[in-house]
Structure 1
Amino acid sequence: MDIYLRARDDGSTDLQLELRSDHTPAVVLVHGAFAESASWYPVIEMLHARDVEVVAAANPLRSVSGDAAYVRDVVAGLDRPVLLVGRRPAASPS
């Protein structure tokens, strides 16, 4: 599976998805600070329209280790390969 997602300055997104296998992974979306799982809604809609299983993890944003453990548990709960997608605010340091 190839997924290309581009966020634009106006807040819109483009999504291109090419499925190359019957064993497509579940997509787990993880938001960063100053956001919530609902911020992935446009992406979720686009992926659902292409019959892709999507989970938007409600990252608790308590600590790096705690958040990592939470995401690990979400991924471990899925009985299939996973494509993990993260996002951070544009103004945050890398």
Structure 2
Amino acid sequence: GFIHPRWNLPLTVSSRSLTGCPRFLSTSSTPDKNDDEYRKHVKIYKLEGETMDNNKSGVKIVTDTEHILYTDLPKKMGGKNTAPQPVETMLAAWMGCTQ
């Protein structure tokens, strides 16, 4: 893991997982995660992803709220084009945040 530059909090990243996306927190040091003030201002998102057996360019992502997302690459990039590209999914998420 590494320290997120804006929030100064640990951000754990592996090849297929991402945890620790805090929001709305301004601090100069890492707070105690059991602290009520910390919990009031932080939202943690947990995702697990795996490469699909029948499609090595595709990824199945399961959220901690049990939603399932899929991503893939276009055929011209070596994918099977069975789902949106990861960047398309990210841009769609940003659009949802601005509504």
Q: TM-score, normalised by structure 2?
A: 0.30
Q: TM-score, normalised by structure 1?
A: 0.31
> Which structure has more RCO (C-alpha within 8 Å, separation ≥ 6)?
1
Task: Point out the structure with max Rg over C-alpha.
Answer: 2
